[in-house]
Amino acid sequence: MESGLAGKVVLITGASSGIGEALAREVARRGGRSVLAARRTERLEALAAEVRASGGEAIAVQCDVTRDGDVERAVEEARKAFGGLDIAVANAGFGVAGRVEELSLDDFRRQLETNVFGALRTVKAALPELKRSRGGVALMGSASGYLAFPGMGAYSMSKFAVRALAETLRGELHADGVAVTHVAPGFVASEIRRIDNLGTLRDDAREPVPPWLVMPTPKAARQIMDAIAARRAEAIITGHAKLGVSLARHAPGLLNAAFSRLGGRSRGVRR
């Protein structure tokens, strides 16, 4: 069992699928205790039961990060079940795709409400417990928080904002002993690219990203939990994300030229 997480209580939002689901299994593998929060209760309960059957500890809490009070209730359940909270992972999110001129203002509001305000609600609900435990918070960003792809303006706006929130919190919480980790994945196996602009899963939607470019969720979860356990400031997940972020930092002109060529035909692909 790897060190750094044994006995720790970890809240994971968006835990019913994808990265969140894989993180729940990884927390259990490392001896942590999970509070699994998401909207889809049946999936959550099945995942919590799987974790317990493997010898781990987990509870499931129905939670919609777009509703005031839901994350607070999840934190309260963590207190009741495990006595407190050590780590909060603000993972819940989805992606709105489309050109800015084609999207409605409601599309942008829906995107920001989940990805930005959902993360903010998670942070504000968890902070009192995290300050007591001198724990950590992880914010799930994206490579799109550095790279504003044509056709993904709403999603990129939300992930740029998540990165700004992480950087702000890192300075504000340093004296309280709370670590802040910004996680920026590239393409990881998940349902996000099969969820439409209304947040509805489309089972018949095809995967637009070639398989060789998609990292398996267990591998991504291991890398993410390594970063959180080590209290690292940032974790960029997947090789192509590291390349893209490096280009954004050191060769923005090259990226701008490439994106300008794509702009006329791209409709965007979620990370």
Annotated active-site positions, please?
A: 155
- Could you tell me if 165 and 116 are in contact, meaning their C-beta atoms sit under 8 angstroms apart? yes
> 100-120 b/e with 16+ CB inside 10 Å = b?
eeebeeebbebbbbbbbbbbb
Tokens of 73: 């209730």
Number of H helices, E strands in the chain: 9, 7
Tokens of 89: 């992972």
Q: Please, what is the angle between helix 153-173 and helix 118-133, to 10°?
A: 20
Tokens of 100: 């800015």
Q: How far apart are CA 50 and CA 38, in angstroms?
A: 16
Q: How many CA atoms lie within 13 A of 82 on its CB side?
A: 25
In terms of Cα–Cα distance, which of 184, 147, 178 is closest to 163?
184
Cα–Cα distances in angstroms (integers) from residue 70 to residues 13, 65, 107, 254, in the given order: 11, 7, 22, 43
Tokens of 171: 């300075």
Could you tell me which residues come within 8 angstroms of residue 115 by beta carbon, excluding any fewer than 6 positions away? 93, 94, 155, 158, 159, 161, 162
Q: Where are the alpha helices (DSSP H) in the chain?
A: 18-29, 41-53, 70-82, 105-112, 118-133, 153-173, 217-229, 239-250, 252-262
